[in-house]
Amino acid sequence: MATGAFVVMLALGLLGVLTSSTRRLHSTPRDPTPTDFSLGPQDRSSHGDDLVSVTTLVKNLDVPWGVTFLPDGGALVTERQTLRILKVGPGRGPTGELTVTGVATITEAYSNNEGGLLGIAASPHFARDSTVFLFYTTRIDNRIAKMRLGGRPVPILTGIPHAGVHNGGRLVFGPDGFLYASTGDASRAGHSQDLDDLGGKILRMTTDGRPPPGNPFPRSLVWSYGHRNPEGMAWDDEGHMYSAEIGEAVWDELNVIRPGRNYGWPKVEGIGTDPAYVDPIVTWRPEVGVADGVAILGRVAIVTCLRGQRIYLVRLNDAVVTGFSSQRVDGVGVGTSSIRWRPGAGVASRPMEALTGRYGRLRAAVPAPDGSLWITTSNRDGRNQPVPEDDRILRLTLHPPGTSPTPGPR
């Protein structure tokens, strides 16, 4: 695959998805994105550093975990360990960094290793109701609550299995207006295959925590099952859902999520041989992965990695759009000993890595209203050596090689 062709698809897709998704959420003006790119020379390198530019928006946070944008262009950010909700931006301080203001501390939550204050999602009607949805750990469970800013959280779903690890915890409103939540197996693999259990699932619910029309199982919140620890969820411009999932010791996964389907854990990790389970479209070894966050820009998936301390740019092809199913189109896929992908199931070319080792552990990936991507670091979570600036929120933009990156808003 020529780099130039990749760049054109990347840029055109970026323009399309950001225009669409931003229009759905807010009317915040976005940076102009050039679309008339000339083709570059052929290059089969697996590195994508010449396609990304990064600036630091905020420093000195403590494990920023969830990010949700507000109509004014600022964002609410959760800190897993301090249990704080912070308002970040849209204003800037004297140093040029975005302002950070404390909004609330969720004393109902309990911080325990990977548990604590996790996901956050602003109501689709936030301008009218000032409401956010939270995923947090307590001493007895994980739960989802709604909270009007200035008030206290009111649980809408309790009894999600909890543990020191594998809590899942991401919250995102889908393009259908319903709330999606990722849950981990809480270190008990049996949760994932039990349809009566909330662990190891992707859940879909109303804002009252009830099953909405269209869920695949009667009177159930379960959207998909057989997951180990999914922490990233995103949609492309056609409405297809993706999830980044942390594996155990063999493979991490990027999956296309289909309602009612079984993703195999603990029977399968990575690409398997049983058509009863949905195979991932990309897998990574933990030493170069531990895939946590995912965002879709155009036809490109950006996957953030904790242990691997990098991002991957995964260009998607029309196999996803034209009806990818669980069927094993191309066996175990193609690739190397550390990364494999499935050209017949939605991946157009070798995933390209970028930012390797530059910012440490990378967690959330959330498209911003201005057309950029916000990425959080997770270097104060006890699994890395933080530098004085940690933890940070980074602003990432994509651009063709040889062009100037799009400047951030001032």
Name which residue leads in pLDDT, 407 or 232. 232
Name which residue leads in pLDDT, 260 or 21. 260
Q: Would you list the domain boundaries of the chain?
A: 3-398
**% the chain with pLDDT above 70:** 82
Sole residue written with tokens 């390209």? 352
**% the chain with pLDDT above 90:** 75
Residues in contact with 365: Cβ distance below 8 Å, sequence separation at least 6, in sequence order: 232, 234, 293, 294, 295, 302, 303, 304, 311, 373, 374, 375
* 229, pLDDT greater than 80: yes
DSSP three-state, residue 344: helix
Query: pLDDT band at residue 322, thresholds of 50, 70 and 90?
Result: very low
Two tokens at 218? 């009667």
The predicted-structure confidence for 96-133, as pLDDT tens digits, reads as follows: 999 999 999 999 999 999 999 999 999 999 999 999 99
pTM of the predicted model as reported, rounded to 2 decimal places: 0.87
Name which residue leads in pLDDT, 315 or 38. 315
Tell me how far apart the alpha carbons of residues 396 and 121 are, in angstroms, rounded to a whole number: 21
Pairing of strands 84-92, 98-105: antiparallel
Looking at residue 334, its pLDDT comes to 76
The predicted-structure confidence for 23-34, as pLDDT tens digits, reads as follows: 333 333 344 332
Q: How far is C-alpha 367 from the geometric centre of its chain's CA atoms?
A: 10
Looking at domain 3-398, its CATH architecture is: 6 Propeller (2.120)
Q: Are 289 and 307 in contact (CB under 8 A)?
A: yes
The predicted-structure confidence for 74-93, as pLDDT tens digits, reads as follows: 999 999 999 999 999 999 99
Which class for 45: exposed (0-12), middle (13-18), buried (19 or more C-beta within 10 A)? exposed
Sole residue written with tokens 């089969």? 44
Tell me how far apart the alpha carbons of residues 365 and 369 are, in angstroms, rounded to a whole number: 13
Residues in contact with 1: Cβ distance below 8 Å, sequence separation at least 6, in sequence order: 44, 315, 348, 349, 350
* 14, pLDDT greater than 90: no
Looking at residue 278, its pLDDT comes to 96
Looking at residue 298, its pLDDT comes to 84
The predicted-structure confidence for 255-308, as pLDDT tens digits, reads as follows: 999 999 999 999 999 998 899 999 999 999 999 999 999 999 888 899 999 999
The residues pairing with 304 across neighbouring beta strands, listed in sequence order, are 293, 311
Residues in contact with 302: Cβ distance below 8 Å, sequence separation at least 6, in sequence order: 294, 295, 296, 311, 312, 313, 314, 365, 373, 396
Residues in contact with 20: Cβ distance below 8 Å, sequence separation at least 6, in sequence order: 237
Measuring CA to CA, how many Å separate 181 from each of 170, 216, 375, 402? 6, 16, 19, 40
* 199, pLDDT greater than 60: yes
Query: pLDDT band at residue 407, thresholds of 50, 70 and 90?
Result: low
Tell me how far apart the alpha carbons of residues 285 and 308 are, in angstroms, rounded to a whole number: 9
Looking at every residue in the chain, the average pLDDT score rounds to 86
